Amino acid sequence: MVLYNFKKITVVPSGKDFIDIILSRTQRQTPTVVHKGYAITRIRQFYMRKVKFTQSNFHEKLSTILEDFPRLDDIHPFYGDLMNVLYDKDHYKLALGQLHTARNLVEKISKDYVRLLKQHLSRLPSIDPNARTLLICGYPNVGKSSFINKITRADVDVQPYAFTTKSLFVGHTDYKYLRWQVIDTPGILDHPLEDRNTIEMLSIMALVHLRAAVLFVMDLSGACGYTIQQQAALFQSIKPLFANKPLIIACNKTDLQPMETLPEEDRRLLDEIAKEAAQTSSLMLLDGSQEAKECLLTMSTLTDEGVMGVKNAACEKLLQHRVEVKMKSKKINDVLNRMHVAVPRVRDHKERPPCIPEGVAAKMRITEQVATRKQTEKDLENAHGGAGVYSASLVKHYMLADDDWKNDIVPEIMDGHNIADFIDPDILLRLEELEREEEEREAAAEAEGEVEMDEDELGPEELEALAAIRKKKKLLLEEHRRKKRTADNNPVIPRKHDRDQEFTAGRMGRHLSSLGLDPTLALERARSRSVSRRGRKRDRSAVSEGGDAMDVDQPSKRLRSRSRSTTRPLSEVRPGEGFKDSAQKVKAMKIGKKAVRQRNKDAKKGEADRTIVNLKPKHLFSGKRGTGKTDRR
């Protein structure tokens, strides 16, 4: 039996109470304080956590309401009709649908605001409120961004119109081995606080909360669009923000309008501003005019004149101000109690002027003598890193027509050839001789009346001979180039592999006939040897006892002894070995034998011996041993 207990349904609060319940739970279960030392990433996570926690609470409460209230399609028809009579079924379904839509809307709004938090908080600059800071402020287009680009590694956009800088930009610089933070603020206009827009309020917030040295930048030329009177009025309106801060008035664009050529009224106005700046920064100086002079500085960001002076003055004033603040604090007494300055007591009244020890003076004199005398290669070696580092110049003693030629780079190899092979000291004389010989030949040809003949005047036989000569010349040229390219180191092709059949008996006979010799006996001998190779019997009856010297097929072993080829001596230079002559080759062979003599005597391993790098490779001599096994696997 199914029982429905509708009294267990949670009471649905009103809209206002529902919001109070969710926000109260968010306040109790999430962090509530953002400290000033938090990094920007931690602040971003703080607010994102609150948004996500609120969304999850809304989702949980609305889901509980939707699950507690029954669906009309799932309950008994009696209860469905009863609810329709009492509450109207359509209104009931419409209310549950609106709750479901509200849950989805809350989730979507949560995602949108988390995305906005990431975008907006990521735009916040990483400013350290406790670091040494220089804060630049003033009217728009007076040169604030140009100044920060000059003294830091920042890259702020600079344009010739107002409000180019729309947010806070941070750069860093160094002064007295300390890191300094420089902040560029957007331009501020002279109107009431409630009329200032968001961009101007960024500068106001920085002036209010940051303990920094303030640089109020002014444009003397008026190129920014505002006069000196208007800029002075802005200084007066925001002067309360400069209280207890080192303040400097930086007059920019002196390249367009020097301070000396200003009208008397504008000059008097600047002096008054400088005095007020000195009073505002609360510097303790005896001379009021000197105090005002130190607060009023000129510069030009275009020519860099006075830029570093303004930066150094602002940093020095901030350091002095921080020291004064620390001296006035209560912690100074605790620090002074732990400090002790030791002052040496006077031992006697004897004067002890500064002096140089004798050992140091002797080394100094030696150094001066080395510097005055002529430097040797040893001195140059010691001065340029010592042995192994210094490399002596081999060309500084060359005797050339011009000393500037000594350091010219001469290539060793060009187009695949050694340059030294083509160097001839008498090349100019040889060139003159060739030119003289050519002139003599031309003169002799003109005297004899020799005229070159045209091919059209030649007959058929002469043309055929000319073609044969040209073909032979081409073949000889190709053969010469082949031998030159391979250094005449061509392999000899055996006859059995000679596919072109160049070395035949007929060719041999024709060659012997052209030499005026009878080739009959040589051809018969060649044929008889070819027959003997095929297994036929040799016919020796035709050979008489007094036969020709070409016949060597006599039965006697003494007559059948073959002539041995003569061996080429080792000292002879072969093509391609790289030796100039036989003497150079013999000398190289002696040096090579002498180099291996001691190694062979000691029976040491040479370059021709077999080398085994690893006698016991790991993959052959390592492994696991199984049960009962003592050898390797």
In this structure, which amino acid lies at residue 232? A
Cα distance between residue 182 and residue 314, in whole Å: 11
Based on the fold, state whether residues 85 and 141 are members of the same structural domain: no
For residues 612-625, average pLDDT: 76
Task: Answer whether residue 366 is part of any domain.
Answer: no
Last residue of a domain, one of 77, 101, 122: 122
* Whole-number average pLDDT of the chain: 80
CA distance 72 to 95: 13
Cα–Cα distance measured from residue 453 to residue 240, given in angstroms and rounded to the nearest whole number: 112
Domain termination site, one of 83, 102, 122: 122
Task: Indicate whether 590 pLDDT > 90.
Answer: yes
Q: How far is it, in rounded angstroms, from Cα 540 to Cα 318?
A: 128
Burial class (CB in 10 A: 0-12, 13-18, 19+), 266: middle
pLDDT surpasses 90 at 586: yes
49 and 96 in one domain?
A: yes
pLDDT at 587: 92
Q: Mean pLDDT lowest for which of 193-202, 369-378, 499-508, 549-558? A: 549-558
Q: Is the per-residue pLDDT at 244 higher than 60?
A: yes
- Is the confidence at residue 375, as pLDDT, over 50? yes
Residues 300 and 154 in one domain: yes
Instruction: Report the pLDDT value the prediction gives residue 615, as an integer from 0 to 100.
Output: 82
The per-residue pLDDT for 555 is: 44
Residue ending a domain, choose from 328, 363, 379: 328
Facing residues of 170 across strands? 183
Residue in 167, 182, 168 with CA at minimum distance from that of residue 132: 182
Q: Which of 83-92, 115-124, 222-231, 477-486 has the lowest mean pLDDT?
A: 115-124
Using the predicted structure, report yes or no on whether residue 311 has a pLDDT greater than 80. yes
Highest mean pLDDT (candidates 96-105, 322-331, 474-483) = 96-105
- One domain, residues 138 and 196: yes
11 CB neighbour count, 10 Å cutoff: 5
Q: What's the pLDDT score for residue 531? A: 63
Q: Does residue 217 sit within a domain? A: yes
Beta carbons of 250 and 220 less than 8 angstroms apart: no
CB atoms within 10 A of CB 422: 9
In a domain, residue 91? The reply is: yes
- Does any domain span residue 316? yes
Same domain, 49 and 138: no
Residues 117 and 173 in one domain: no
Tell me the CATH number at 26. 1.20.120.1190
Q: What confidence tens digit (pLDDT) does each residue in 416-454 have?
A: 778 777 777 787 788 889 999 998 988 887 777 655 566
Residues 228-253 have a mean pLDDT of 88
116-126 average pLDDT score: 67
State residue 544's pLDDT score.
43
Instruction: Examine the pLDDT at 521 and tell me if it is beyond 90.
Output: no
Pair (93, 34) in one structural domain: yes
Residue 253 belongs to a domain: yes
Question: Given this model, what pLDDT does residue 588 score?
Answer: 92
Has residue 532 got a pLDDT over 80?
no
**187 falls within a domain:** yes
Residue 47 placed within a domain: yes
Q: What is the chain's alpha carbon radius of gyration, rounded to the nearest angstrom?
A: 54
Establish if 334 belongs to a structural domain. Answer: no
246/318 Cα distance (integer angstroms): 6
Question: In terms of pLDDT, which residue wins out, 500 or 370?
Answer: 370
pLDDT at 501: 60
DSSP state of 525: H
pLDDT of 275 strictly over 70:
yes
Q: Rounded CA gap, 551 and 333, in Å?
A: 131
Domain that holds residue 160: 133-328
Higher-pLDDT residue of 469, 195: 469
User: What's the pLDDT tens digit per position in 68-93?
Assistant: 888 777 777 887 777 777 777 788 88
> Do 178 and 315 sit in the same domain of this protein?
yes
pLDDT at residue number 524: 87
Please tell me whether residues 317 and 205 are part of one structural domain: yes
Q: 275 and 147, same structural domain?
A: yes
How many domains does the chain divide into? 2
Same domain, 101 and 157: no
The arithmetic mean of pLDDT across residues 502-511, rounded, is 78
Higher pLDDT, 134 or 289: 134
Query: What does the pLDDT read at residue 496?
Result: 62
Share of the chain above pLDDT 90, in %: 6
Q: In percent, how much of the chain has pLDDT > 70?
A: 84
Distance of alpha carbon 294 from the chain centroid = 45
CA separation for the pair 91, 93 (Å, rounded): 6
Transcribe 169-201 into DSSP letters. EEEEEEETTEEEEEEE-----SS-GGG--HHHH
CATH number at residue 245: 3.40.50.300
| Prediction pTM value | 0.41
Any residues with CB less than 8 A from the CB of 430 and at least 6 apart, and which? 424
Both 138 and 87 in one domain: the answer is no
